[in-house]
Amino acid sequence: METPCQKIVWDLVPAIRASLAIELVKKGQSQAASAKLLEIAPSAVSQYISGKRGYRIEFQGETKELIEKLAQDLIENRVDDFVARICEICVSARGIENRCNNGCGQEEHAEDETEDKT
């Protein structure tokens, strides 16, 4: 059985990373520059662009906007906390209230506990 955390680590985070790499290249960054901004190997960027790597999720709405904004902020060197921004995107994609500083996904755990008691 796959846990929610496994799903996030194996599917969602790689899809976010792939979308960021693709967005950076769309905004005119080279694959090498995109890799440097994301602190990943240039070959990973190449594989994301070609679709050989990174689970493909078509992000929409707020999540897509957050990815586009983070890409632009990376280009302009305006990112203070990359991890927090990734967390914000992840939370948006999962459709839960943003509680990263207090523990992402707490709502899910509370629901699980309620279900266990019934």
The whole model's pTM is what? 0.77
Contact 48, 18 (CB under 8 A): yes
DSSP string over 4-48: HHHHIIIIIHHHHHHHHHHHHHHTT--HHHHHHHHTS-HHHHHHH
Each residue of 27-69: pLDDT tens digit? 999 999 999 999 999 999 999 999 888 767 889 999 999 999 9
Each residue of 83-113: pLDDT tens digit? 999 999 999 998 865 444 435 544 444 444 4
Q: Residues 17-25: what's their mean pLDDT? A: 97
Residue 117 has pLDDT above 70, yes or no: no
Residue 55's pLDDT is: 65
The C-alpha atoms of residue 105 and residue 101 are separated, in whole angstroms, by 11
Domain limits, the chain: 4-117
